[in-house]
Structure 1
Amino acid sequence: MTEAFASEEMSSDEAAAAASSCGREFRANPYPVYATLRATAPVCPLSPPHGVETFLITRYDDARAALADPRLSKDMYGAIDAYHRIFGDSSIALDDNMLFSDPPKHTRLRRIVGSTFTPKRVESLRPRVQEITEELLDRCSASEAVDLLPEFCFPLPLVVICELLGVPENERKQAHAWSSTVARTGFGPEARKALEIAEGNLRDYLVDLIARKRREPDEGLLSALVTAQDQDGALTDHELVSTAWVLLFAGHKSTAYQIGNAVYHLLAQPDQKRLALQDTRSMAAAIEEIFRFETSVENSTFRYAKEDLVIRDQLIPKGALVQISIAAANRDPEAFPEPDRMDVERPNVQADHLTFGVGPHYCVGAPLARLEMQIALTTLFERYPHMALAEAPEDARWLTVPFPAFRGLAELPVVLEPS
């Protein structure tokens, strides 16, 4: 991190410019910028690469309130012009789901998904998640440097969510490729065209997959959603496609980056690794602290103001887009003492961090993410207790996508069994 990014030397304008541009230095370490914004411009208008001015909320108390504020709508159909400018016309076909809706529609969709995606169903996956974890590690070279992201961190949650949904094994690679394109890394004409093609292919695939589940139901979650009923009725075909998409996407990408973040920081801080590995309870606490310290969910999905509102003396006009910086809020010293220090013994962190949100949109997949994190980290470090980073911690390369929802490493080279 260069001296120019030391928070005490930055003005609010410089911090806003850094956060807007999402340059390489900011992506490598956004926390000094977030510290300046919390102190000087906690509700800050930005001009990000997608071209639509967005207000960024960085303080913990404001973030917690905003995440549950009904005046901030998740239904992006209400902000249709801004939505089209950012994502293009084709994205709407995949966004008719509980992530992008308000009550009463959100209440109905979440109730139906919740009735099938239960804690009991998630816990029943434990043996299979353990088996997948072991299989993936069996394929990794123990003596040579291996990039854990493509070899372990991404395949684990991807296989789990595909098996949970009922996506056939021979179709997962293509579905993942389309999904990765939809989570694109740019806003230019070429990126928009690639996005439109991938969204069309993914939509057509999910329509066909749902039709097959209707003809030949199985034990998967998608079959359960096809037949699930609520007092207000079943999911429409459009809602089914969009719900399948959001579960597929959200069910692996954030967890994959979170596993990578956890491995990196535990290897970079051996004292914290030792404390985390004491027993099951210690690992559970460590996972929650890592969710806080280096969340893979850097920013919330977009909201828009349904009316003029004021937060911290900043007017957010009706129709304006708003994002909550989960990463900034989770490092707020008013909420967490010494927030820039990872402390796996930090008390009450599970109840306080905002990685899974709060209120009606609290992440429905949180139990699955916690299960996968626990099994992945415990198995990895028990099997390879001397595992080490293949490069110095300060040489880590972080994602450089513009104005991202995710924070994660671009690669994670490790040696599982150093000689």
Structure 2
Amino acid sequence: MAESPPITSPFVEAAPAARHAAFAELAAAGPVRRVMLFTGVPVWLITGYAEAREALAHPDIIKGKGGDGPHRDVVPAELAAAMDHHLLGADPPDHTRLRRLVSAAFTRRRIEGLEPGIRLIVDGLLDDVSAAGERGAPVDLLAAFGYPLPLTVLGDLLGVPVDRRRDFQEWTSVAINGSVHPAETFVAAATALIDYVRELLAQKRADPSDDLISGLVAVREDGDRLSEDELTSMVFLLLVAGYETTAHLIGGGMQALLAHPDQLDLVRADPDRLPAVIEELLRFNGPAQVATPYRTAAPVRIGDVTIPAGEVVLPALLSADRDPRQFPDPERLDVTRQPASHLAFGHGIHHCLGAPLARLEARIALGALIDRFPKMRLAVPPEELTLQASMLINGLTTLPVVVT
């Protein structure tokens, strides 16, 4: 089957507007289309909302035991096993079992109990932002706030000592963007991360506390419990999926509001609308470009296209959430829009387990930023903002702002 030339756009588009425009151009050629990625992998890219939603819940579009991460041809088997045995890489019945066990430790009550701590973390970080931004000095809001917040929250949730969290930041940044790093860089970062997760697991077994890793180690149901590879894989997934995505939900959300001052004024006038605002920001400029890859277990008809068995399927979340067939005037940020069923957290059995935590962090973070710095503005023209190259993440490299 013939493909178009390999596509690098939109994944390496540096300008935010150009990335969305590139996805729109791909969508205009059809909501289900076979393309060759710049990595050399042929995939079925699904850019339409209805089609992506159908694909994400289709029983014959599966994960196939995972193993679709970057550089898997050179990743040692032991390392791959320690990274790949998690929810996002499993199909039923394995997925059903894993989700049941993990959910027993990663409870809504545990997440809701984090709110007072998150507020304290936010207040402390904003004190630092305020000091750094005195007299109009530019502050990189991502470096000073967007990254440290979820890193600190995850560190507290998982029980990671404070003096090791900077290492986690460096390792996870490489791990989630592995396809744009050389293989040896990815393998080194993933190895260091997994080695330290194993150390943490040993510490929590010897001296358990009230943190999620201790909970995952202890959880059991009907004699079943998570294996060592499942434990390391779940912590790896929580770090990789819960860190950069939340940072860019906060950074991308603030960027969108600063670029639309009329919408920002509406939020300031009615802070109670923040939960709905977060949903519109997720739809308008979500932190994930695409879902992690799926495969067809049998021929599958999506829309007007039949995808053969054994093909890689890549739902384009960023594009689907701007599908004009689903969202009126999708290119417009509208914080008064009735909350819609966006796909920023996926759909179906692999809907993001950490979505409640991401929403909680974003609501507290954006609310505090808007309240604390009513005159915040970009420190550079909007066209100077750039995005990082990534297969998965839709995130800025920096977000320079003036807060006073």
Distance 1:331 1:232 in 2: 46
Partner-residue secondary structure (3-state), 1:375: helix
Assess if the C-alpha contact under 8 Å between 1:43 and 1:314 holds in 2: yes
**Residues 304 and 226 (structure 1), Cα distance of their counterparts in 2 relative to 1, 3 Å cut:** same
Structure 1 counterpart of 2:239: 248
Displacement over 4 Å in runs of 4+: 16-21, 25-28, 79-83, 85-90, 185-188
Matches for 1:135-150 after TM superposition, within 5 Å: 135-140=124-129, 141-143=132-134, 144-150=137-143
Letter in 1 for 2:307: I
Q: Does 1:174 align with 2:167?
A: yes
Structure 1 counterpart of 2:117: 128
Tell me how far 1:320 sits from its aligned partner.
1.3
Distance 1:389 1:86 in 2: 42
Partner-residue secondary structure (3-state), 1:405: coil
Q: Can you give the 5+ residue segments of structure 2 that lack an aligned partner in the other structure?
A: none
Structure 2 counterpart of 1:165: 158
Name which of 201, 204, 210 aligns with 2:192: 201
Structure 2 counterpart of 1:328: 319
Q: Does 1:84 align with 2:79?
A: no
Tell me how far 1:85 sits from its aligned partner.
4.5
Structure 2 counterpart of 1:358: 347
Letter in 1 for 2:395: G
Matches for 1:46-65 after TM superposition, within 5 Å: 46-65=35-54
Structure 1 counterpart of 2:22: 33
Structure 1 counterpart of 2:34: 45
Partner-residue secondary structure (3-state), 2:220: coil
Tell me how far 1:197 sits from its aligned partner.
1.6
Tell me how far 1:24 sits from its aligned partner.
3.2
Structure 2 counterpart of 1:265: 256
For the aligned residues, what is the CA RMSD? Answer: 2.2
Assess if the C-alpha contact under 8 Å between 2:13 and 2:19 holds in 1: no
Assess if the C-alpha contact under 8 Å between 2:7 and 2:37 holds in 1: no
What per-residue deviation string (whole Å, max 9, x for no partner) do you get for residues 119-150 of structure 1?
11111111110100111111121231010111
Which is worse superposed, 337-346 or 203-212? 203-212
Structure 1 counterpart of 2:227: 236
Q: Can you give the 5+ residue segments of structure 1 that lack an aligned partner in the other structure?
A: 1-12
Tell me how far 1:406 sits from its aligned partner.
0.9
Structure 2 counterpart of 1:378: 367
Matches for 1:280-359 after TM superposition, within 5 Å: 280-349=271-340, 352-359=341-348
Name which of 388, 395, 402 aligns with 1:408: 395
Partner-residue secondary structure (3-state), 1:386: coil
Assess if the C-alpha contact under 8 Å between 1:64 and 1:358 holds in 2: yes
Distance 2:69 2:147 in 1: 34
Letter in 2 for 1:156: L
Distance 2:63 2:238 in 1: 17
Distance 2:326 2:189 in 1: 41
Distance 1:42 1:19 in 2: 18
Distance 2:69 2:163 in 1: 38
What per-residue deviation string (whole Å, max 9, x for no partner) do you get for residues 255-314 of structure 1?
001100111111111110011223343111111100000001110001011112232343
TM-score under structure 2 length normalisation: 0.92
What per-residue deviation string (whole Å, max 9, x for no partner) do you get for residues 58-112 of structure 1?
11101111111121112345x7799834977544431110111011111111111
TM-score under structure 1 length normalisation: 0.89
Assess if the C-alpha contact under 8 Å between 2:56 and 2:347 holds in 1: yes
Distance 2:69 2:367 in 1: 46
**What is the aligned length?**
397
What per-residue deviation string (whole Å, max 9, x for no partner) do you get for residues 150-199 of structure 1?
110000011001100111111111122222222235457xx101111222
Tell me how far 1:253 sits from its aligned partner.
1.0
Assess if the C-alpha contact under 8 Å between 2:10 and 2:20 holds in 1: no
Percent identity, aligned pairs only?
38
Name which of 71, 78, 103 aligns with 2:60: 71
Which is worse superposed, 339-348 or 316-325? 316-325
